[in-house]
Chain A
Amino acid sequence: METWRLITTWGAPPEFNMGLDGALLEDPDTPPTLRFYTWTPAALSLGYFQRYLEVPAAAEAFVVVRRVTGGGAIHHTNELTFSIAASLEHPLFEGPVTRSYERVHDLLAHALAKSGCEPSLRGDEALLSDSDETGMCFHHSTALDLAWGGRKGVGSAQRRRDGRVLHHGSIKLGSSQYDTGVAELEGLDDPAQLASEITASFLEAGGIRLQPGVPTRAERLRADELGELAIDPDFVHRR
């Protein structure tokens, strides 16, 4: 049994959310950390390499940030967002990128099944939620994505740097203005409830005990710096 740090920040500003994840990725002394969060105000995040103009919703969204992780855009509302920061040597992440997704998604599927859906990796079949030309993560699927009811239910992306990994995930409680047609979680409207299920899944299926904690002072200071970058118009519009 191993112990990780659990950080929960409900309703935090978009720049703080991105800044803290960046800080957790950077610090080699940071213990493996699972973080749950939501966004106030709702914001749209672009993937690290996405072109701003290829995401029509970006011009309409109230707040836009750019993530350090890749993939498509996500409208962060009506969802549970999570991140995992750990060493690439950790058994959850060692080896090929694809294997690390399978392991993380196994833990999530274990939790989501308790919420009444039947999640599985998409495999070879396209999804009903797939849609061209929106640039939205939930409208583009790969074989490794978790889906149920023929629709994408979890958006995810990784950043790998200096022997560490940041794994970003978004689990929709239902569709939103820009994330339309996604998999629904029937009867579940509280992100904290889903976070509890995932915490239990890490223990039961992953042998990982989550110890509630808070960011260190150094992490908070670095989060402030990185958060300013994430929301900086030059960075948001860099591509």
Chain B
Amino acid sequence: MRPDDRHYLPSHEWVKINEQTATIGITDFAVDELCSGNEGDLVYCDLPELGRVVDAGETFGEIESVKAVSDLNSPVGGEIVEVNPEIEDHLEILSDDPWDRGWLIRIKLDQEMKSELLDVSAYEELIAEKE
């Protein structure tokens, strides 16, 4: 079972809200889709500058595996106030711990969370359909 303390996008990003700050990352499923268990296949992650404002659903970064570049989409809107400094040089963190150490950005919320975000049960159902 994946963590139930956060919400998910169908494009496999997660968001965890703590008061007015949202922490965002990608799920274990997203990592597996990109690199099929070979963490060395993740080669680059481009994360945004601090201070950039994103809308819910907007692309905030990109991640490259050996064979594909994929967009990273923000589940919520607001100003990017923190970027995980470890990710660029240690992409293996995304495989080892996508839920905690593998967070990507933190956003100061300025919009209500959208209703189309999935809770963990709905996300698990979505994944089950794909597996």
Q: Which residues of B contact A237 (CB under 8 A)?
A: none
- Residue among A144, A158, A160, A165 with max Cβ neighbours from chain B (10 Å): A160
Interface size on A, residues (CB 8 A): 23
Residue of B35, B59, B64, B71 near A49 (CB, 8 A) is B64
Residue of B44, B67, B71 near A161 (CB, 8 A) is B71
Q: Which residues of B contact A94 (CB under 8 A)?
A: 130
Residue of A49, A70, A95, A162 near B67 (CB, 8 A) is A70
Q: Which residues of B contact A162 (CB under 8 A)?
A: 11, 71
Q: Which residues of B contact A159 (CB under 8 A)?
A: 68-70
Q: Is the CB of A97 within 8 A of B44?
A: no
Interface size on B, residues (CB 8 A): 20
Q: Given A95-B130, A96-B32, A163-B11, A71 and B71 touching (CB < 8 A)?
A: no
Q: Is the CB of A96 within 8 A of B36?
A: yes
> Which residues of A71-124 are within 8 A (CB) of B?
71, 94-98, 101
Q: Which residues of A contact B67 (CB under 8 A)?
A: 70-71, 97-98, 101, 142, 144, 156-158
- Residue among B33, B59, B67, B130 with max Cβ neighbours from chain A (10 Å): B67
Q: Is the CB of A70 within 8 A of B130?
A: no
Report Cα–Cα, A165/B71, bound state, in Å: 11
Residue of A70, A95, A101, A156 near B64 (CB, 8 A) is A70
Nearest CB in chain A to that of B10: its residue: A163
Total of A-B residue pairs, C-beta within 8 Å: 60
Chain A contact residues: helix, strand, loop or mixed: loop
In the complex, whether B15 has a CB less than 8 A from a CB of chain A is no
> Which residues of B7-57 are within 8 A (CB) of A?
11, 32-36, 43-44, 46
In the complex, whether A57 has a CB less than 8 A from a CB of chain B is no
In the complex, whether A68 has a CB less than 8 A from a CB of chain B is yes
Q: Is the CB of A157 within 8 A of B130?
A: no
In the complex, whether A36 has a CB less than 8 A from a CB of chain B is no
Q: Is the CB of A48 within 8 A of B69?
A: yes
Q: Given A49-B44, A49-B46, A163-B11, A97 and B64 touching (CB < 8 A)?
A: no
> Which residues of A41-67 are within 8 A (CB) of B?
48-49
- Residue among B62, B64, B69, B130 with max Cβ neighbours from chain A (10 Å): B69
23 A-B interface contacts by CB (under 8 A) = A48-B62, A49-B43, A49-B46, A49-B64, A49-B69, A68-B69, A69-B69, A96-B32, A96-B34, A96-B36, A97-B36, A98-B36, A98-B67, A101-B67, A144-B67, A157-B67, A157-B69, A159-B69, A160-B69, A160-B71, A161-B71, A163-B11, A165-B68
- Interfacial residues, chain B to chain A (CB-CB below 8 A): 11, 32-36, 43-44, 46, 59, 62, 64-71, 130
